[in-house]
Amino acid sequence: MSDAGTGRRHRVVVVGGGFGGLSVTRALDKAPVDITVVDRTNHHLFQPLLYEVATGILSEGVIAPALRSVLKRQENVRALLAEVTALDLTSRTVTAIAPDGEVLELPYDTLVVSAGATHAYFGHDEWAAYAPGMKTLEDARRLRRHILGAFEMAEMAELAKDPEERAAWLTFVVVGAGPTGVELTGQIAELAHRVLPRDYRAIDTRQATIILIDAAPAVLPPFKEKLQRYTKRTLEKMGIEIRVSTAAVDMDDDSITVKGPDGEQEIRARTKIWAAGVRASSLARMLGEASGAGLDRAGRVAVQPDCTLPGHPEVFAIGDMVSLNGLPGVAQPAMQEGGYVAKVITSRVTDQPAPEPFKYFDKGSMATIGRGRAVADAFGVRLTGVPAFGTWAFIHVLYLIGWGSRISTLYRWSWGMFTRNRGQRLVTVGQAREELTHRKFDELRSSSADALSSTAPPASEAR
């Protein structure tokens, strides 16, 4: 079907190929529209398993299939690798920057924006340098280099007979005890206690101190109390120190200062990981300014009950960047909103009655803690331990895209369970250096080469 009077098909531009963007795109498979999906990465990222990339369990490709390959059979879609920088709701144009810097203008009849969220450091953006967060594949790679680099440095500190340094390298502090913080601390503990001990000669990695802090009074704040108690108990049994009602108040390369019920304390820790706050994509603010829609404290734009923006029925926003009916920033709302928006678009282009406003179907929530340990809360049933872990594993494998990724994940998990090993542990001295010191290895190498050449004997004396 062509748009009335134009002789061409209805053009839909989808910004973001994450959970929301991919859902809307796939659900428009049979619709008489031409879709352009623009994303600043070339992959669809399965964020719930990012922590497994960060801790060396899974390889990146398994959780991040190329968008082109995911969409290759859907003929009404083209994918573009470009970063969206402006949304002009008046001229109905999306502006994006291509990899070579070229500016692309993408006209649309319908726009769907699902650009997700990023980290929020509660007014302390400078902490990003000391406590990296984990939202993208690059973040997970960086964390992996940092964590592996810290164990390497601890070994060297021990060889240099510097116990204080060794302890600082072997101290890991995770800020934020939501599902991501719990999953990360659990996996760092498994690395230190089960995977690495036999690999090191000087240090005992089981002596690592792993601390989980949160300003809230309990771990996993959105979960029911029984599940919170189970999680806390399990983490403590795994050797993790939990500090609730405790906030980060300062940090630098070597330490973090926290404030809790017993006052302020500085903890020497070379590894700090941020799993605390989120802020909506900056495109949410752009949409708010252009349409008059309000923003909440997390910068999420308030959408109408049908996911459109006020005064702009042709513009939809979904997922983590919107506030709608108090829904949480997790995958299910993004996916269900995507499916719903596809129905609205299809009804419009096929002259069918519009569907009812969006209604969320809560399928529950779950979080994994470690091997064979998880919590799940769905349809009034609360599970812990192995049953919860089995449910968690089944659902996560099911939602991964492609049989190759599913089989590879199952294989990696089984292999890790039997061998106590992890296959994704590659790091170079340059990469670790950059993560641990924020300086490029090349600069350090050339400055140390200068220092060496200034102390070197004249060439004629050299042998």
Ligand X SMILES: Cc1cc2nc3c(=O)[nH]c(=O)nc-3n(C[C@H](O)[C@H](O)[C@H](O)COP(=O)(O)OP(=O)(O)OC[C@H]3O[C@@H](n4cnc5c(N)ncnc54)[C@H](O)[C@@H]3O)c2cc1C
Which residues of this chain interact with ligand X, rule CB under 6 A? 15-21, 38-41, 45, 47-48, 50, 83-84, 114-116, 134-135, 179-180, 281, 283, 319-320, 329-332, 334
Least Å distance between CB 313 and ligand X? 21
Least Å distance between CB 235 and ligand X? 17
Least Å distance between CB 125 and ligand X? 18
Nearest by Cα to 443 from 427, 453, 432, 430: 430
Q: Are 274 and 248 in contact (CB under 8 A)?
A: no
Using alpha carbons only, give the angle 354, 280, 301 rounded to the nearest 5 degrees: 40
Other residues' Cβ atoms within 10 Å of the Cβ of residue 74: 16
Give 40 or 422: the residue with its C-beta nearer to ligand X: 40
| Residue facing ligand X at closest CB distance | 18
CA-CA distance, 245 to 75, in Å (whole number)?
Answer: 52
CA-CA distance, 18 to 67, in Å (whole number)?
Answer: 9
Residues 6+ apart with CB under 8 A from 46: 63, 64, 399, 400, 401
Coil vs helix vs strand at 60:
helix
Q: Are 114 and 15 in contact (CB under 8 A)?
A: yes
- Residues marked active site are found at 183
CA-CA distance, 315 to 348, in Å (whole number)?
Answer: 13
Give 39 or 165: the residue with its C-beta nearer to ligand X: 39
Give 18 or 288: the residue with its C-beta nearer to ligand X: 18
Q: Are 231 and 185 in contact (CB under 8 A)?
A: no
Give 304 or 336: the residue with its C-beta nearer to ligand X: 336
Least Å distance between CB 441 and ligand X? 28
120-131 burial by CB neighbour count: b if 16+ within 10 A, else e? Answer: bbeeeeebeebb
Q: Are 190 and 224 in contact (CB under 8 A)?
A: no
Least Å distance between CB 437 and ligand X? 25
Give 249 or 378: the residue with its C-beta nearer to ligand X: 378
Least Å distance between CB 354 and ligand X? 23
Give 169 or 230: the residue with its C-beta nearer to ligand X: 230
Distance of CA 107 to the CA centre of its chain: 30
Least Å distance between CB 84 and ligand X? 4
Give 20 or 370: the residue with its C-beta nearer to ligand X: 20
Locate 136 and state its tokens: 């993208």
How distant, in Å, are the alpha carbons of 83, 212, 213, 214, 277 from that of 259? 39, 13, 10, 10, 17
Residues 6+ apart with CB under 8 A from 452: none
Give every strand in the sheet of 93-97, ordered side by side. 83-88, 93-97, 103-107
Least Å distance between CB 328 and ligand X? 8
How distant, in Å, are the alpha carbons of 27, 40, 191, 218, 427 from that of 56? 34, 25, 9, 28, 11
Give 47 or 409: the residue with its C-beta nearer to ligand X: 47
